[in-house]
Structure 1
């Protein structure tokens, strides 16, 4: 599967050695469950030097709205910071009670211009099971079928 229009932004983050994992709809697609998504969800390591690399890299994309953010904006709380460039990017330091380090055991790499780290089926089921959103619950059902049917 291909990360589609998000590939160049993700490759830029990987080249800058930003520690992140693709979660959400794009991760579903990378795992073989094809569905549409209009944004990209990233679970990022909240270490200040990593957030600086993240913001520096995102500032080079689109209109560069990431320049308006600072390290202090990234707290250890649930919820996303939404950045809209050529497409919406939702940045999480914690999702479903899990942090970047908690999810590394579920990491897979998508080859390409630069390896793109994403969460595997098991990790997505874990993250999305904690959500009450109907789309996430639908994803969990589809991901369980994907896991079962191989």
Structure 2
């Protein structure tokens, strides 16, 4: 598959929201939503690791046409650290425990609402890429840091913070 399109990310956002999934866009998808000039092959989604949320994510993905295997359903329900999905209309990486970020609740407090998309802060995106230490992330980090500096320039508009995270169930 080629790069994921903005309309596909919008479809994913809408399905996750219809099913009340608590999530943030992270990784390069999150950076793109901040305005980072690049492309990505998949949607990176940081999913809050709770019992209810895992099932809600399964429901949203199935609604979109993902043909989830029983193993993938079980992994999503239990919040396996990383679940890569290539069996749908586009590729999605579900991340329940991203490198460099301790707790979903903390990332949520630092996150932003960018045109209706819940997105990790650029600092959390950078921290996660730095902690993963993959070659492709090491290559991207200098450009991401430069982009963060651009976002912090005086006079640049800031994205609104996300609303308080509803207390539904406890983190696993």
TM-score above 0.5: yes
Q: Does the Cα contact within 8 Å between 2:100 and 2:124 map onto a contact in 1?
A: no
Residue in 2 aligned with 1:43?
46
Q: Does the Cα contact within 8 Å between 2:54 and 2:78 map onto a contact in 1?
A: no
Q: 2:83 aligns with which of 56, 59, 81?
A: 81
Q: Which runs of 5+ in 2 are unaligned?
A: 152-172
CA distance in 2: counterparts of 1:100 and 1:52, whole angstroms: 17
Q: Under a length normalisation based on structure 2, what TM-score does the superposition of the two structures give?
A: 0.74
Larger Rg: 2
User: 1:66-120, CA deviations, whole angstroms, 9 ceiling, x for partnerless residues?
Assistant: 3633345555664x21112111111111011534223112211122xxx221112
Distance change in 2, residues 1:77/1:97 (3 Å): farther
The Cα of 1:138 is off from its aligned counterpart by: 2.6
CA distance in 1: counterparts of 2:76 and 2:18, whole angstroms: 23
Aligned pairs (5 A) from 1:3-18: 3-18=6-21
Distance change in 2, residues 1:90/1:83 (3 Å): same
Whether 2:133 is the aligned partner of 1:132: answer yes
Q: Under a length normalisation based on structure 1, what TM-score does the superposition of the two structures give?
A: 0.83
Q: Does the Cα contact within 8 Å between 2:30 and 2:119 map onto a contact in 1?
A: yes
Distance change in 2, residues 1:91/1:97 (3 Å): same
Distance change in 2, residues 1:51/1:139 (3 Å): same
Q: 1:103 aligns with which of 107, 110, 118?
A: 107
Q: Does the Cα contact within 8 Å between 1:107 and 1:118 map onto a contact in 2?
A: yes
Structure holding more strand per residue: 1
Matched positions, count: 144
